[in-house]
Amino acid sequence: MSESTTATSLGRPVLWSIPASSLTPEQIEAKAQVLYERLQTIVAKHADVRFATSLAAEDMVVTDGIVKSGAKISLFTLETGRLHQETVAMVDTVEKHYGVSILRAYPEPKDVEAFIEQYGLNGFYDSEDAKKACCGARKIKPLNKALEGAKAWLTGQRREQAVTRSDLPFEELDDARHIAKYNPLFDWSESDVWAYLQYKNVPIHPLHLQGYPSIGCEPCTRAVKEGEDIRAGRWWWLQKDSKECGLHVK
């Protein structure tokens, strides 16, 4: 009896699992070379480039690409105070694996306290405004601070991920911060990402093995069922076109 059949027969939903890929090693290497070239192109144009990593699948591809290509790009992560323990531990794992330093960008205690005073600790469940306020305090303000002085920054966004990203370009202007923004995986598929990670033996976030295709803060992220949209577990109580925290919305 298959694992899926067993889970169904026991009344448990079948969760998302890492997709299979038909890419050959040669095709994966070709995609890797394109990624490395994109990263080198970016650093050739900008003196100070930074990468915001969530430690999830796409960002691990970019991290591996930065290290393998030798591109001079500094790494940071948004330590929101509401992350899964697996995510916090993943920072150490990546630093040790690659011999790199990842800056932790924390929210200001006063901003978090102001949010809690107005909305409550988990008030983001109650309204879109509250959700935006929480992301603003825990993610957007720390991101702004982490990008002070930068000339460009990178993301792990892909067009396939969401309806809000369907026309995502390789290069764009971050209007809010008046710097260049790059999406080196903009044209990659989900299976491309996983083919690269597995072929290159890249560290994988433990929650990906538990039905989480997309990972954010713990109270705002859950596993998704097989066949669901890969971002269905992010802010699942909101409409599909509301599933952005504000980091990537113009």
Q: Which positions are catalytic? A: 245
248 with 167: CB under 8 angstroms?
Answer: no
Give the length of the chain: 250
- Nearest alpha-carbon partner for 199 in 71, 43, 30: 30
Q: How far apart are CA 69 and CA 32, in angstroms?
A: 9
CA 188-193-195 angle, to 5 degrees, is: 120
Q: How far apart are CA 144 and CA 71, in angstroms?
A: 23
User: From the centroid of its chain, how far is CA 78?
Assistant: 10
| Encoded tokens for 100 | 């790199």
65 with 33: CB under 8 angstroms?
Answer: no
Checking 195-201 for CB contacts under 8 A at 24+ apart, the result is 195/21, 195/23, 195/27, 195/28, 196/28, 196/31, 196/32, 196/61, 196/64, 197/57, 197/60, 197/61, 197/64, 198/18, 198/21, 199/25, 199/28, 200/28, 200/32, 200/64, 200/68
